[in-house]
Structure 1
């Protein structure tokens, strides 16, 4: 029998949840991940053909009807996923009416998808409009990104430019910048809708005083995006800890040179083509 539990998809999600926990981004049951799969991805597995349970989504996901998602469970600890993926992960398929999801594998002790699953689905819908290769939404609580949301104005342009200037990799990895929503109650469709609106322009959205949403074509890309944002925020935290006296910085001209060298297009609203701001 070819079991979905032995698939590379399960192994990859279990690996990234462990890495995120080790980074200190997912205390207790914080954080969630969803990976979109196709018919082809699941075709060879013997244990995903039977519907074990039909779950109410509380959201119209008809734009994703027929899509499969491997998603972390609500109330589950990232540190445990690697040892018990069949309990903490579930493979679901969005039903034709978009109001439900059929559970095909996992959640063997009765778990349900993360409470943020509607927010994930909204972001999946929006990112697929921009990038058909999109597959992953990841939410976690990076310490220094959260700290930044307390000390800085919640201005997308200013925070993007601050993070771009903290390390050369930032502009290369997130040239479009960082999206930010106002503080909102997590686990609601309202925060999901606000996040998905930002996903039209950004692959990363900060939830102030809470965490971050990152997206990508695969698990590594989404994780690496968040990792780069957090590294830049950590460097800024270290600068502040050393007194905050910046004696030299990456200039706007150097940012433009980086963009040219790596073939990326920096958001022109945040980095004009000339030196005049």
Structure 2
């Protein structure tokens, strides 16, 4: 992401991503959440009619000082964000020190507070600024059914086996997501434990699996690009499910076949 998008353009991104997640059945009812962090100034008051100064953030994020973070509200339906984004999304300008921020909302908002997983969003935004100095980042949390269903199988709930299940069905998968999935064990949603492990998982991966719950994905390009990553991996999980349902007779791509794809497309990966 290089262009400095307007508030309306950023909210449109979030709306398009929300609808695509709904099409994937990955954001049932009020499940799932989206955030975007930017390092440029925007005219927040052109969209958001109210603001509160000095609102305490759920996580200290000093690297985000002066930056703006857009986030969906707790319980909001992601499929409805596009219809009236100002009702489902709010924005924070983070104060110096990263403990508080000015919270911009609309008088017709349909939520009382940001998503309960705002701590995980903020922590990843903060860490990626520290690690990579990014100016833009979109983060999506969703609950894609095939990926989540496979995360309930304890025997394969580890980085090696889970990734092998997903990546053996389509040659495109290793090309599009060469770093693979960071697989995390079950942790209570919204907890500090999940937040801290998720930051580590997303430091060198763009997607982390939250076992028996969902996934979190980051993109430096757009919210829809984050959803694209979900779609590639959810498709692999769907094939894995279809194979199991038909008796497990398919072999999928062999490791050697995937290595040939890696070589042909000059993919930088340590998975194969």
TM superposition score normalised by structure 1: 0.87
Query: Residue 275 of structure 1 aligns with which residue?
Result: none
Shift of 1:167: 0.9
Matches of 1:123 and 1:219, distance apart in 2? 15
CA RMSD in angstroms comes to 2.1
Matches of 1:79 and 1:232, distance apart in 2? 24
1:35-184 equivalences under 5 Å are 35-40=36-41, 42=42, 47=46, 52-54=51-53, 55-106=55-106, 108-109=108-109, 111-128=112-129, 129-130=131-132, 132=134, 135-151=137-153, 152-184=155-187
Count residues in correspondence: 262
In structure 1, the gaps of 5 or more residues are 272-277
Do 2:49 and 2:104's aligned partners in 1 also have CA atoms closer than 8 Å? yes
Matches of 1:107 and 1:197, distance apart in 2? 37
Do 1:51 and 1:102's aligned partners in 2 also have CA atoms closer than 8 Å? no
Q: 1:181 to 1:107 in 2, by over 3 A?
A: farther
Query: Residue 274 of structure 1 aligns with which residue?
Result: none
Shift of 1:130: 4.1
Query: Which stretch shows the higher mean deviation, 254-263 or 153-162?
Result: 254-263
Write out per-residue CA displacement over residues 122-142 of structure 1, whole angstroms, 9 at most, x where no aligned residue.
112233314736511100000
Do 2:39 and 2:136's aligned partners in 1 also have CA atoms closer than 8 Å? no
Q: 1:259 to 1:91 in 2, by over 3 A?
A: same
Shift of 1:264: 1.9
In structure 2, the gaps of 5 or more residues are 1-5
Matches of 2:106 and 2:65, distance apart in 1? 20
Q: 1:130 to 1:256 in 2, by over 3 A?
A: farther
Deviating above 6 A after TM superposition, structure 1's stretches of 4 or more consecutive aligned residues are 48-51
Matches of 1:38 and 1:211, distance apart in 2? 28
Matches of 2:213 and 2:29, distance apart in 1? 14
1:262 to 254, 262, 265: 265
